[in-house]
Chain A
Amino acid sequence: LEDVFDIRRILMAESVIRIGKNVMRGSVELPTRQHAMLLYNDNTNPDSSMIKYVNEALKRGHLVAYMPIDSDYESSKSRMAAEITDYEEHVDHGNLFTLNSKPFYETAVAGSTDLFEELKVLLEEMIQERTGSEKGNKVVLHSGCAADLTLNDKFDECIILEKWWQRTHAEWMQKGLDVTLFCPHSNSKLNQKEFSNYRKGIAYLHTITQEAIQH
């Protein structure tokens, strides 16, 4: 029965990709309360695609915790400052929180989720801080290190991490927390025939799969 359920989930995820291809052109579709697999097509500058989602979330008044795909945090910070609309204003008002993906990647490659457990505490406290304030309590998190794992063929480690995010996101939903979690992955990488099983396996661990808007 579990196998049947798995196959249904995979088919559903794949159908969302197909729908996504038709719907996503031209505007940023921001899912809510989802654990989203976000497939990007720009391998040279993937963070620029992700930043479109950051801008949309900030425009809607959400708190954004952004872990870039680029493991070079210094260059990521420059890109964020240049491409995130009203970057400094959002930082000053506590709407934007950035994270260096490198230590997260390193801990994930070692098969550990310890660092992510601390991130979970931090995010839950951020939500508590905003709850009751006029800012609202919607949070969007970009977990950029997922992309690095697939790009570097660390598929098993990626699945360990995505399973952890799946459990954590489900726990947040049960608690009534309004968190949308984006896990970016390279579309071209996962479209390679030899990785098709990983693509399905990773998609299965998300509640929605969509193709990122081109920039």
Chain B
Amino acid sequence: LTKAVSKGVIHVIDDEINIVSMASGALERDGYQVHSFTNTSIALDDIETTCRQMVSMIITDIRMPCHNGFEIARKTRAIVPEVPIIFMTVFEINLSEFNAVFPSLKGANLLQKPFHIDQLLEIVRKYES
């Protein structure tokens, strides 16, 4: 991955306000710059215009109104091809199966809900190196 996560903006997107608050609060306390959204259209607008060059990671729910997490991931990858994508999901999904089924989202990661803050930070820090 070309850009260290800490040098850019992490976008946290989920239609559940509690998840967004918990995740963005934890990331900010850990020193990351975070843009958080419960509205997917506004999130996409922010990614496509305001933050075009600053997007360093997308952490998104899968099922949301208007735009699902896959749409957000694909549209972001069209702008920033190697941006890390982390899907938050209620499923227990085998990551290698997921990556094989979704080759266009190469290297995407998964965070199973409900998750602990430590799990979130651990997965984000993996992209720091």
Contact = CB atoms under 8 A, between A and B. Distances in A.
A129 B102 contact: yes
A137 B99 CA distance: 17
A12 interface: no
B9 to A, nearest CB: 25
Interface residues of B, number: 18
Contacts of A98: 94, 97
Interface residue SS majority, chain A: helix
Contacts of A94: 97, 100-103
A73 B103 contact: no
A103 to B, nearest CB: 7
Contacts of B100: 91-94
Interface stretch (B46-54, B62-70, B119-127): B62-70
Nearest to A126: B101
Given A121-B62, A122-B62, A99 B102 contact: no
Nearest to A114: B90
B103 to A, nearest CB: 7
Interface of B: 62-63, 68, 70, 89-94, 96-98, 100-104
Interface of A: 63, 73, 91-94, 96-100, 103, 115, 117-119, 121-122, 125-126, 128-129
29 contacts: A63-B101, A91-B94, A91-B100, A92-B96, A92-B100, A94-B97, A94-B101, A96-B97, A97-B97, A97-B98, A97-B101, A98-B94, A99-B91, A99-B92, A100-B92, A103-B90, A103-B91, A115-B91, A118-B62, A118-B90, A119-B91, A121-B70, A122-B91, A125-B68, A125-B70, A125-B102, A126-B101, A128-B70, A129-B104
